Structures are given as structure tokens and as C-alpha cells.
A and B are shown apart, each in its own frame.
Chain A
């Protein structure tokens, strides 16, 4: 079974430029998560989708971040414009459903460097 796929794996951009990350969850997983992981820290939830509906986006900085999950499968996370402080690893995860006891499977992440 293929795991969570993310691309690109690495991205280097100048500040104020836009950037987008793509995630393909495990087949059949209805719930999709985007996490932010700063260096030396644990992941922090940005947004959670149940199918195509964003059920928790309270931690998403909506002035510059946006996300979508069209057709309830793949998802894209966008930053526009990027700031120096956005340098981090962006992780995508998926689970069968949004139940609290369902295992979340993580992708390898996209490491973003903003210069």
C-alpha cells in the first residue's frame, strides 16, 4: 500500500514569493491534515479536512495561507506571500476518519526555505 505522497520534497524561494505544496493521501482515507513542523519542535496542526470540508482551520494564518481539497482526495497548501518565518517542514497526514483514535499516517514532508 502506497503511503502519503508529498511534493516537492524541498523548496527554496525568495521572501514575498508564492509557494504551493501538494499532498496525495492514502487511498480511502477521508481525513487529511496539514501540519507545520519547525526545527526541533513537534508538528502543529494547520488545517484538517473531512472529505472536501475543512472542519478545523483555526490554526491556519488565513492572511497568507490557503488550502483546498478538491473532490476530497488530493490537497494543496499555498502560502502567498512567503515570509522568512515560514521556513519549516510542512507535513501532510491522512487517516481513515476523523475519529480521535484513528492512526494518522504522515508523509515525508516538504522542507521550505525562505531566503
Chain B
């Protein structure tokens, strides 16, 4: 019930295209959903995050869409650029018990943006 399932495993997009990565979760107690970006040899870095009280959050070219009833959320990267090529992880956490603040990560999506 703590799992976060992410798809696709890899994604290839042309420059200027839209990249879409999806995540699904089971634990309805999750109430914080961040997306992390990781470049080779680096640690993950927070990209954008959403709380379940809103259905969408946009920051520049990055948008999170959140569907509470379906227990799904997705990352949309508009006008994808070669510099966006990285591994993207969705995650979730909740403020309950010993798991307070614990991030559960998805399996990751390797995004390649061709010039």
C-alpha cells in the first residue's frame, strides 16, 4: 500500500514536444506529491510539488496534474528541451505515524529529448 507506480520506464521526445509521465498510488493518506529530477552522477533535485487540495500546479514549462479520485498524478513538460534529458521520479509522503515525512519514490522515467 506504500507503493508508487510510475510509467513509462523510458520516454523519447523531440525538441519542442510534450513529455508526459504518470504515477499512481494506493495509500489514500498520501498528501504531498513531489517530482524530482536527477542527472547522471547527481542526486535528485526537487522540480515541482503538489498537495491534493488542488488539481493542477504549473511552474514554467512544468505542470503537475492531480486526480484524487483516480489516485493518479502526472508531470507534463511543455516545449521539451535537450537539457530536460534526465531521470524523473515521482514521490509521495504523508504526515502519519513513524512514516511522517517519509518519501516513497516511483521507479523513475528516463527522458531523452532529441534536438
Contact = CB atoms under 8 A, between A and B. Distances in A.
B105 A42 contact: yes
Given A103-B46, A108-B41, A41 B108 contact: yes
A56 interface: yes
B93 interface: yes
B100 A98 contact: yes
Contacts of B91: 42
A104 B100 contact: no
Interface stretch (A14-22, A43-51, A67-75, A79-87): A43-51
A26 interface: no
A34 interface: no
A107 B98 contact: no
A55 B102 CA distance: 11
B100 A100 contact: yes
Interface of B: 6, 31-32, 34, 41-46, 49, 51, 89, 91, 93-95, 98-103, 105-108
Given A58-B98, A100-B94, A102-B101, 15 more contacts: A4-B43, A31-B101, A45-B102, A48-B101, A55-B98, A56-B102, A91-B44, A99-B95, A99-B101, A100-B32, A103-B46, A103-B49, A104-B46, A108-B42, A108-B43
